């Protein structure tokens, strides 16, 4: 099992301060490439990844993941592998 793959919901947020990973609209990557990277980062369905990508594209930003800081930083680093513009902040 790959320990870098996460679910898009993290129940450990109940035990500590939650954070969120925000994805900003990206004009440099193909939409499918962004959706695939989202799937890699949070281990979600193709439909969920496409919805997140579409929200970021249409509104300028979308929440990709909410969880504890360590997991958010991991998701952020996976999205950053292809240089997507993201931010981790308190939820």
Query: Per-residue confidence at 4, pLDDT binned at 50, 70, 90?
Result: very low
Neighbours of 90 (CB within 10 A): 9
Which comes out higher in pLDDT, residue 53 or 1?
Answer: 53
Domain contains 51: yes
Task: Please count the structural domains in the chain.
Answer: 1
Q: Which residues pair with 88 in a beta bridge?
A: 21
Q: Using one digit for the tens of pLDDT, what is the confidence trace for 68-79? A: 999 999 999 999
d(CA 4, CA 33): 19
Number of neighbours of residue 84 by Cβ within 10 angstroms: 22
In this structure, what CATH number is given to the domain that contains residue 26? 3.30.1390.10
Do the domain assignments include residue 63?
yes
Report yes or no on 56 lying in a domain.
Answer: yes
In this predicted model, what pLDDT tens digit does every residue of 15-55 receive, in sequence order? 678 999 999 998 899 999 999 999 999 999 999 999 999 99
Is residue 2 a part of any domain in this protein? no
Is residue 65 assigned to a domain? yes
Backbone angles phi, psi at 21, to 5 degrees: -105, 125
Domain boundaries, position 75: 11-90
The structure's pTM equals: 0.82
What is the per-residue pLDDT for 2?
44
């Amino acid at each position: 099992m790959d320990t870098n793959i996460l679910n898009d919901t993290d129940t450990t947020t109940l035990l500590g301060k939650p954070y969120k990973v925000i994805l900003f609209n990206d004009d440099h990557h193909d939409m499918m490439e962004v959706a695939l990277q989202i799937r890699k980062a949070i281990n979600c369905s193709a439909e969920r990844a496409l919805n997140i990508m579409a929200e970021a594209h249409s509104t300028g930003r979308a929440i990709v993941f909410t969880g504890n800081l360590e997991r958010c930083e991991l998701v952020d680093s996976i999205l950053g592998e292809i240089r997507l513009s993201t931010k981790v902040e308190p939820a």
